[in-house]
Structure 1
Amino acid sequence: MILVTGGAGFIGGNFVLDWIAETGEPVVNLDKLTYAGNLETLKSLDSDTRHVFVQGDICDRELVDRLLAEHRPRAIVHFAAESHVDRSIHGPGEFMRTNVEGTFTLLEAARAYWGALEGEAKAAFRFHHVSTDEVYGSLAAHEAPFAETHAYEPNSPYSASKAASDHLVRAWFHTYGLPVVTTNCSNNYGPYHFPEKLIPLMIVNALAGKPLPIYGDGQNVRDWLYVKDHCSAIRAVLQNGRLGETYNIGGWNEKPNLDIVHTVCALLDELKPDAAGSYSRLITYVTDRPGHDRRYAIDARKVERELGWRPAETFETGIRKTVEWYLANPEWVANVQSGAYREWVSANYAGRDAKDSHA
């Protein structure tokens, strides 16, 4: 049995589905079900006794203690986080509470639980903290990708809150000996991705004939990681990662945002042609967000060298699977596009002057 936090979110939900399919080991899934948590993602597990869902807050120490005492997990895999940069700019308080206070609460609960274990159970226990490459800041075009030793230079309230949580995890290992591992991943994409992030937003807007908003000049570069590859990397680190170590998980796929959008448009042109013409006609440049990091890139050689992990998908294979999934699952998309989601999109892009839309 393992305990997963945030297992109804995008990466967490994919991980729960993947974990049960690949290992068959039961999961206790603790998720608050905020706007980004979606039980529709886990619908295939409705009658599966290996999945125990608990709606709750990771900041609720009494609840976390009870779940640990009742289910006796051999590991905690901690995904739960506020993760959208734009939302962190509009309202940083929730990011501090969930990402910092929530991680602290989990660490303290895990420390008490682990401290009472004995023998093999104590030796086998792991706390796996899932983090982001955004803690490292921004790279210039000529700079080498982020290695695990890169200095932390977070530039947004979101990345600052995740950096703080990383430091807490490190401190609980060095001070208390809590058996932790940390992974810092690059931008994930794939099925069940909430449509506020770039790739699903472009797919959903294109199919609806709405503008495809591109921040600034569209040349911000990210490394893209197919979510199922991320899941396999977490399994590898949880099983064989060295205690106290950090592993960067990347897809070896650096792409400018504008290239990503053109790729999505080309796939939609192929798979679901629009009589009005190419979906690329909808590309619209909008005012950049404050403090927008120019480039992220992950050096994932450590996890390959130590654990033999490499991504199975190229960007070309992964993005095709992603677009095909969204075309095949319109009900899921419609269900997550609630009133709250529409209000958020309206608020975030309101007042951003649209510039020349020719891409």
Structure 2
Amino acid sequence: MILVTGGAGFIGANFVLDWFRQSDEPVVNVDKLTYAGNYGTLKPLHDNPRHVFARVDICDRTALDTLFAEHRPRAVLHFAAESHVDRSIHGPADFVQTNVIGTFTLLEAARQHWSTLDAAGQAAFRFLHVSTDEVFGSLSAADQPFSETTPYAPNSPYSASKAGSDHLVRAWHHTYGMPTLTTNCSNNYGPYQFPEKLIPLMIANALAGEPLPVYGDGQNVRDWLYVGDHCSAIREVLARGRVGETYNVGGWNEKKNLEVVHTLCDLLDQSRPKAAGSYRDQITYVKDRPGHDRRYAIDARKLERELGWKPAETFETGLAKTVRWYLDNQHWVDEVASGDYRKWVETNYARRA
């Protein structure tokens, strides 16, 4: 059995759903179900006895100890995190609490469990920590992509809190000998992404006839990774990654934000054309976020060299699948677009109009 944290969130839920498509091994799915955690995403597993869902905060040590004692997992996959940069700017305390204190609490609960295993169990155990490329800071146009040895230089409360969690995982391996692994991924996109992030927000606003808000000049660059590819990379790292190592996971798809929005508009023009004009007509430029990193890029050659992993999707094929999924699953979007979410979007973008 494996234990997954944040398994009702975007990447975590995709991972759990993919896991059961490829494995019979049971999963203990731990999620606090904050605004971005949606139990409805896991509907295909609601009657699956091999999927055990526990509504637990990773800061709750007593609850975690109970889960470890009851289920005795062979591995922990740690997805749970506050992850939206704008939210971290307006409310950094939640990010420090979940990403730093939560990771510390989970590490200690996992270490306690690991210490009770026999020698073979300890050697086989894994703690896989899922992190972000944002811990490395910002690149100029001429800089080489981030590698696993790039110095940390986080620029937002979000990325600083994730950097802190990365350092804790590293320290627990080097100090206590816990068999840890860390992955640092680029921008994910795909099904079930909460509609505050760029791609699902643009799709939702386009279909609603609302403005498509682009920060600043729209020239900020990100590397885009289809979430299904990310899940496959995590499975490879869990199965064959070297203990104590870090692996960068990227899609080899550097795109400017405005280019992403233009491509989305063109796909929607083809799939669900407006009565008149293009969805591009809805693009509007808003005030940039404070400290907005200019460019991220991932060098994922270590993962390919050591484990043979490469992304299966190009940006074009992955984005086409993503647009089609949102068009075919509007009910899911409607369910997650709660009053709290709408208040957040209105507050965030009203400040930048």
* TM-score > 0.5, shorter chain as reference: yes
CA offset digits 1:300-326 (Å, max 9, x no partner): 000000000000000000000000000
Say which is worse superposed, 127-136 or 41-50, in terms of deviation.
Answer: 41-50
Report what 2:89 is aligned to: 89
Deviation, 1:120, is: 2.0
Distance 1:338 1:71 in 2: 34
Alignment-mate amino acid for residue 236 of structure 1: E
The answer on 1:61 being equivalent to 2:61 is yes
Distance 1:98 1:189 in 2: 22
| Structure 1 counterpart SS, 2:284 | strand
CA offset digits 1:269-323 (Å, max 9, x no partner): 0001110321000000000000000000000000000000000000000000000
Report what 1:311 is aligned to: 311
Distance 1:122 1:87 in 2: 38
Distance 1:277 1:116 in 2: 65
Q: How does 1:172-187 map to 2 (within 5 A)?
A: 172-187=172-187
Report what 1:212 is aligned to: 212
CA offset digits 1:140-172 (Å, max 9, x no partner): 000000000000000000000000000000000
Say which is worse superposed, 50-59 or 117-126, in terms of deviation.
Answer: 117-126
Report what 2:7 is aligned to: 7
Report what 1:203 is aligned to: 203
Say which is worse superposed, 329-338 or 112-121, in terms of deviation.
Answer: 112-121
Q: How does 1:69-84 map to 2 (within 5 A)?
A: 69-84=69-84
CA offset digits 1:197-241 (Å, max 9, x no partner): 000000000000000000000000000000000000000000100
Report what 2:349 is aligned to: 349
Alignment-mate amino acid for residue 305 of structure 1: R
Distance 1:276 1:102 in 2: 50
| Structure 2 counterpart SS, 1:8 | coil
Distance 1:151 1:102 in 2: 24
Report what 1:113 is aligned to: 113
Report what 1:225 is aligned to: 225
| Structure 2 counterpart SS, 1:184 | strand
Deviation, 1:39, is: 1.0
- Alpha carbon RMSD of aligned pairs, Å? 0.6
Report what 2:165 is aligned to: 165
Deviation, 1:351, is: 2.5
| Structure 2 counterpart SS, 1:277 | coil
- Count of residue correspondences: 353
Report what 2:283 is aligned to: 283
Distance 1:254 1:40 in 2: 32
Deviation, 1:249, is: 0.1
Q: TM-score, normalised by structure 2?
A: 0.99
CA offset digits 1:170-213 (Å, max 9, x no partner): 00000000100000000000000000000000000000000000
Distance 1:80 1:352 in 2: 29
CA offset digits 1:238-266 (Å, max 9, x no partner): 01000110000000000000000000000
Distance 1:212 1:296 in 2: 22
Deviation, 1:37, is: 0.1
| Structure 1 counterpart SS, 2:94 | helix
Distance 1:175 1:321 in 2: 44
Distance 1:304 1:313 in 2: 15
Distance 1:200 1:128 in 2: 27
Distance 2:19 2:319 in 1: 22
Consecutive unaligned residues of structure 1, counting only runs of 5 or more, are 354-359
| Structure 1 counterpart SS, 2:19 | helix
Deviation, 1:24, is: 2.0
Report what 1:265 is aligned to: 265
Q: TM-score, normalised by structure 1?
A: 0.98
Report what 2:51 is aligned to: 51
Distance 2:191 2:278 in 1: 24
| Structure 2 counterpart SS, 1:114 | helix
Deviation, 1:119, is: 2.9
Alignment-mate amino acid for residue 277 of structure 2: G
Distance 1:226 1:330 in 2: 20
Question: Deviating runs (4+, > 3 A) in structure 1?
Answer: none
Alignment-mate amino acid for residue 126 of structure 1: R
Distance 1:343 1:351 in 2: 12
| Structure 1 counterpart SS, 2:58 | coil
Identity %: 74
Distance 1:119 1:140 in 2: 47
Alignment-mate amino acid for residue 67 of structure 2: L
Report what 1:150 is aligned to: 150
